[in-house]
Amino acid sequence: MSTEVRSMASHQPTGLADAWAVSRPQRQAEAAHAQSLRPGRWLAVAVLATAGLMPAWAQKAVLPGVTETEIRIGNTAPYSGPGSAYSTIAKVEAAYFKMINETGGINGRKINFISYDDSLSPPKTVEQTRKLVESDDVLAVFNTIGTAANLAAQKYLNAKQVPQLLVGGGATHLVDPKKYPWTIGWQPTYYSEAVIYAKYILANHPNAKIAVIYQNDDFGKDYLTGLKEGLGDKARSMIAAEATYEPSDPTVDSQVLKLKASGADVLVNITTPKFASQVIKKVAEIGWKPTHFLINISVSVGAVMKPAGIENSQGILSTAYLMESTDARWKDHPDMKAWSAFMDKYLPGANKADSMNVYGYVTAQALVQILKQCGNDLSRANVIRQAASLNKVPFKLMLPGIVANTTATDFYPIQQLQMMRLKGEQWELFGPIISSGVGQ
């Protein structure tokens, strides 16, 4: 790495305007950095070149993560461990980029999507993220899954001025344009989603006794904060019991029993898919019949409701911003037809009832949109600038009326939700599109 690049890497922009201001010199520095291969790769280049198999990283680089023919994008996902259900997202994203490459790529360049297993373990996320940046020389890190995982990698990526794009976590403090100008959010914040549930409870169950189960980390606590602040002065009197769990716990049966014993008639279920399914099943087994709210990252009919028992899941309330693939109303919608054909071609045999297949499809669209907006300026600073310039984009499979929008001071692309209720094997949307707001 040249002295120029090192000196620039030590400069921490204080906001997006500052990041943009260094765009031109940074592009020059990035280009200088890209002129030489990293030590230890010459032998591999010589061997593979002789065989006629020149690797992508051996091609002449234009900028970090960019050659004349490819764009390297990094990702970590839990292919193993308790959060492995989320690996579906990265698999769909990889398939989507394959489709884009087969149709010409992005402005003539193919996407090289490099995804590593981090087991949803923050230390491993940091290790794999460093590998992506320092060994694979990626342009950006995209849609890492998990709030704790993203928080663990955030300081490193921002110090290196590597875009952390469309993060797969909704913690409010994860996205802060002034403090972390290289981190762009994606989904509605956990905090604001919980505020919507609180408002619904106050309007429809004003005398409720509320039980809450949540994951014992920033992800769960952000939801809990939103719920309590949404309830306002009534939070102390309405919340009858709280129970936490760790991602490594085998079950949450004991927590459900504790919550039922509180006498609560409303349950707010702040859990990831594996545990959400366990909660639903256990609630039914013990004959507890609370009004049940389930966070929107765990609403997959295929991955959560069916394992728990569809009959046990009836009437559960949640929110949505994406179309549900099992909802008959979207069956003949052109976007759903296109998605179904995509799944059949690129992921045959995959579970179409798993809503994470929709989530990954939409996030992949968003990255492609950002890269297309970059044109031929694929400097990292311009990637961030374009990610912060999404102009009310209605990506395919978003609910009608919901769009992605960002500005130089607003790094939350999606800020709208709609309430829904499970009936049969489908989620029924009801009520208006609600603007969830940003942060606290």
Three-state secondary structure string covering 363-377: HHHHHHHHHHHHCCC
205-230 burial code (b ≥16 CB/10 A, e <16): eeebbbbbbbbebbbbbbbbbbbbeb
Find the helix or strand (DSSP H, E) in which 194 lies: helix 190-204
Closest to 213 measured CA to CA, from 120, 277, 147: 277
Partnered with residue 210 across adjacent β-strands are 239, 266
Closest to 142 measured CA to CA, from 162, 159, 126, 124: 162
User: What are the contacts of 38-45 at 24+ separation with CB within 8 A?
Assistant: 38/135, 38/137
Q: Where are the alpha helices (DSSP H) in 232-333?
A: 235-238, 253-261, 273-285, 306-308
Token pair in block for residue 419: 């309430």
Cβ–Cβ under 8 Å, residues 252 and 275: yes
Task: Compute the distance between CA of residue 293 and CA of residue 420 in angstroms, rounded to an integer.
Answer: 10
Q: Supply the pLDDT for residue 436.
A: 66
Q: Supply the pLDDT for residue 392.
A: 96
Mean pLDDT, rounded, of the chain = 87
Partnered with residue 292 across adjacent β-strands are 267
135-165 pLDDT per residue, tens: 999 999 999 999 889 999 999 999 999 999 9
Residues of the chain with pLDDT under 50: 1-25, 27, 31-57, 438-440
Place of tokens 């499970």: 422
Task: Compute the distance between CA of residue 81 and CA of residue 278 in angstroms, rounded to an integer.
Answer: 17
Cite the beta strand spans of 31-79 per DSSP E. Answer: 61-63, 66-67, 70-77
Q: Supply the pLDDT for residue 74.
A: 98
Q: Supply the pLDDT for residue 246.
A: 96
Ordered structural domains, the chain, with CATH? 3-188+353-409 (3.40.50.2300), 190-320+417-435 (3.40.50.2300)
Partnered with residue 421 across adjacent β-strands are 317, 428
Q: Supply the pLDDT for residue 326.
A: 83
pTM score, whole prediction = 0.76
Q: Supply the pLDDT for residue 430.
A: 93
Cβ–Cβ under 8 Å, residues 361 and 92: yes
Cβ–Cβ under 8 Å, residues 184 and 384: yes
Q: Supply the pLDDT for residue 300.
A: 87
Partnered with residue 80 across adjacent β-strands are none
Task: Compute the distance between CA of residue 110 and CA of residue 132 in angstroms, rounded to an integer.
Answer: 18
Cβ–Cβ under 8 Å, residues 62 and 378: yes
